[in-house]
Amino acid sequence: MTVPLWTSSDIARAVSGTASADFVADGVAFDSREVGPGDLFIALPGETTDGHRFVDQAFAQGAAGAIVSQPVPHPHILVADTRSALDALGVAGRARTAAKTVGVTGSVGKTGTKEALFAAFDRIAPGHAHRSLKSYNNHTGVPLSLARMPAETRFGVFEMGMNHAGEIAALTRLVRPHIAVVTTIAPAHIEMLGSIEGIARAKAEIFEGLEPGGTAVVPFDSPQRDILVEAAKAHAGRILTFGLGNGADVRAMERVPAKNGGTLITVQLPDANLTMTIGQPGEHWVSNALAVIAAVEAAGADLAVAGLALAELQGMAGRGARVQVKVPGGEALVIDESYNANPASMRATLKVLGEEHAVRRIAVLGAMRELGEHGPRFHAELAEPIAQANVDFALLVGEEMAPLAKALEGQTEFAHVPAAAAALDALKGRIGAGDAVLIKASNSVGLGRLVAQLTAGELAEADED
């Protein structure tokens, strides 16, 4: 017999609400467009609209019940405040499980590390691992992810993000991780936090929610390591560092390119050595994998099985997916990094492009957002990794790319367009069979649409026309 995720009585108890009828829910959603049969719909107020307007739509799509702050003609739990109810349901979801829980944050690599950790735990305990989907890492996404966690979960992995100081502190107290991982510190959101040290301190808030005796996992090679370690000491029972440097607790002693484009590494841990293959290419994935292995070790789980999962890991849409697309004369490789960008991740993925065996290397780079007064310098400084990657042609997208365009003059062939809508036309005649194309930008630039156009073969169709 399948155990429901939530019963109406459990929900009412968790959120201090009143049930209009008995029902059971097998999922939770606050976006009416994502509601499926058997889901609980939480009608949240928004800046421009109110979820209560979409209650009928949610039930038309099969919702089993709803959490609302005003009565509706459907099975529901009535509460005073639906936002507070979402938090309360997340807290109850966390409290009812004995799962070993991992929190992940960082400027770069947190979503990839979260997905890799889930893949490792799901292979270790098939069907009993849970994680936050997509990039549900904010004040609504984290409690939603906790509320979606089945009671019988053995391992839970939750991503936490922030734009301002204090945000991760609130999220980590909801998650209450046994293991808190910081991936990489980079100047993302520096506009709001002022300095790289300020970013490190904001990320270090994740340690404040650690369960007693919990483990802090810290990047050894980071210039901000000491800030992170000092913050962890106040809350962690154990601190594990990971990296390449001599002295890291979880260290890559040897690494060589693997046949599939990934990396074969030998990892030294406090009490064991592990040789494994990382399926994803790039030095940044070596770092991500070391963080994963450190967290798995802290969880007391099977390291060898985790290594197998890392060998099979595939890139995600917008975050490293590799797609062969039709172009004039054959096919080209598209490396889809269109979801996020900051100075560190730009350098890392350009290095991956430079290591590709390709006829020509093409970089489509969109603006990096939330850099404030530092933006012009960080964009201009991309000229160096572009040169090191031997990029044959760079397409720059967005007004913020003007400093990079100036820096590339006389160095690399390039074109500069104002927006993503002009990108496909700018690539016509530029991409041929055997080329490798990196597409990377902050998500708000909209280069995901370009990836979709290339995947649909629109460049090849344009040539035929």
Q: What is the CATH number of the domain that holds 332?
A: 3.90.190.20
Residues 353 and 450 in one domain: yes
Residues 149 and 212 in one domain: yes
Residues 234 and 153 in one domain: yes
Cα(193)–Cα(398) distance, integer angstroms:
24
Cα(107)–Cα(219) distance, integer angstroms:
12
Residues 119 and 268 in one domain: yes
Residue at 418 is within a domain = yes
Residues 210 and 266 in one domain: yes
> Residue type at 317?
A
Residues 236 and 216 in one domain: yes
The pLDDT score that the predictor gives to residue 188 is 64
- Residue 31 · residue 133 · CB < 8 Å: no
Q: Which residues constitute the domain of residue 274?
A: 97-312
Element of type H or E holding 24 = strand 24-25
Residue at 87 is within a domain = no
> Residue type at 28?
V
Residue at 88 is within a domain = no
Residues 362 and 434 in one domain: yes
The residue among 16, 51, 81 that closes a domain is 81
The pLDDT score that the predictor gives to residue 370 is 82
Residue entry with tokens 């939770």: 28
The pLDDT score that the predictor gives to residue 186 is 78
Residue at 186 is within a domain = yes
Spatial CA neighbour of 187 closest among 400, 408, 373, 439: 373
Residues 325 and 305 in one domain: no
Element of type H or E holding 88 = helix 82-95
The pLDDT score that the predictor gives to residue 462 is 61
Cα–Cα distance list, 96 to 89, 101, 418 (Å)? 11, 12, 51
CATH number at residue 193: 3.40.1190.10
Spatial CA neighbour of 316 closest among 204, 451, 212: 451
Residue at 92 is within a domain = no
Q: Outline where 105-214 has alpha helix (H).
A: 110-124, 141-147, 167-175, 190-193, 196-203
Structural domains counted in the chain: 3
Residue at 91 is within a domain = no
Sheet strands side by side (includes 65-68): 18-19, 76-78, 65-68, 39-42, 27-29
Residue at 1 is within a domain = no
Residues 300 and 388 in one domain: no
Residues 258 and 171 in one domain: yes
> Residue type at 358?
A
Q: What is the pLDDT along the chain (465 residues), one digit of tens a residue?
A: 578 999 999 999 999 999 999 999 999 999 999 999 999 999 999 878 899 999 999 999 999 999 999 999 999 999 999 999 999 999 999 999 999 999 999 988 899 999 999 999 999 999 999 999 987 899 999 999 999 999 999 999 999 998 888 999 999 999 999 999 999 997 765 666 668 898 999 999 999 999 999 999 999 999 999 999 999 999 999 999 999 999 999 999 999 988 778 999 999 999 999 999 999 998 899 999 999 999 999 999 999 999 999 999 988 888 889 999 999 999 999 999 999 899 989 999 999 999 999 999 999 999 998 888 889 999 999 999 999 999 999 999 999 999 999 999 999 999 999 999 999 999 999 999 999 999 999 999 999 999 999 999 998 876 555
The residue among 283, 312, 341 that closes a domain is 312
Residue at 108 is within a domain = yes
Residues 135 and 108 in one domain: yes
CATH number at residue 71: 3.40.1390.10
The residue among 81, 107, 124 that closes a domain is 81
The pLDDT score that the predictor gives to residue 192 is 64
Count CB atoms within 10 A of the CB of residue 302: 15
Residues 333 and 291 in one domain: no
